[in-house]
Structure 1
Amino acid sequence: MLSHHDRTELAKIERNLELSDPDLAAALREGKRRKSRALRTALLVAFDIVAVTLLVVGLIVPDPGVTLCGILALTATVWTHVARHRL
């Protein structure tokens, strides 16, 4: 059993959570689980493959536009991987 002080502190935390992130508070209240990261991971791997393919095709075919798209896509995937691991 929680003490009166603990219940009061818990109520304060609940109110702050409700004010700062109502979606998270509702998900916790309803018992919903967060979405799986498997779809995000699969999309990220697919994007990695497309970026590398664009870069390789751009280096084989003398088209600077394809090479530039490959470099930009590869830069975006590296940035996404770094940002994802910092969370």
Structure 2
Amino acid sequence: MLSHHDRTELAKIERSLELSDPDLATALREGRCRKPRALRTALLVALDIAAVTLLVVGLVLPDPGVTLCGIIAFTGTVWTHVAGHRL
């Protein structure tokens, strides 16, 4: 069990966190993690580039399997972008 002094100090830290970063305080209170946006955005851009490249290569080559993979990859990236905006 915490002492009165420790509880007081923790309350001060909590109030300071509420004022400085309310989103983080809410996330900590609710037990959910904030997602790193920069890493997620970089990963989505890399997947977009890979999917478009695969689709273009599939259209240039006479191989329907590569084209199908490009279409599936492109569909997946579009779905990921749409799902990401809802979070």
Fold match, TM over 0.5? Answer: yes
C-alpha distance in 1, partners of 2:37/2:67?
A: 30
Counterpart of 1:55 in structure 2 is: 55
Separation in structure 1 between the aligned mates of residue 40 and residue 56 of structure 2, nearest angstrom: 24
Q: What does residue range 59-70 of structure 1 map to in structure 2 within 5 Å?
A: 59-70=59-70
TM alignment of 1:8-87, pairs within 5 A = 28=28, 34-87=34-87
Structure 1 runs (4+) deviating above 6 angstroms are none
- State the alpha-carbon separation in 2 of the partners of residues 65 and 48 from structure 1: 19
Aligned residue for 2:45, secondary structure, equals helix
C-alpha displacement of 1:75: 0.3
Calculate the aligned-residue CA RMSD, in Å: 2.3
Normalised by the length of structure 2, the TM-score is: 0.61
Identity of counterpart residues, as a percentage? Answer: 83
Q: Which runs of 5+ in 1 are unaligned?
A: 1-26
Q: C-alpha displacement at 1:62, in angstroms?
A: 0.5
Please list every run of 5 or more consecutive structure 2 residues that lacks an aligned counterpart in the other structure. 1-26
Aligned equivalents of 1:67 and 1:40: distance in 2? 26
Q: How many residues align?
A: 60
Q: TM-score under structure 1 normalisation?
A: 0.61
- Per-residue Cα deviation, 1:37-78 (whole angstroms, up to 9, x for no partner): 111110110000000000000000101111000000000000
Q: Using the alignment, how far apart are the partners of 2:28 and 2:76 within structure 1?
A: 33
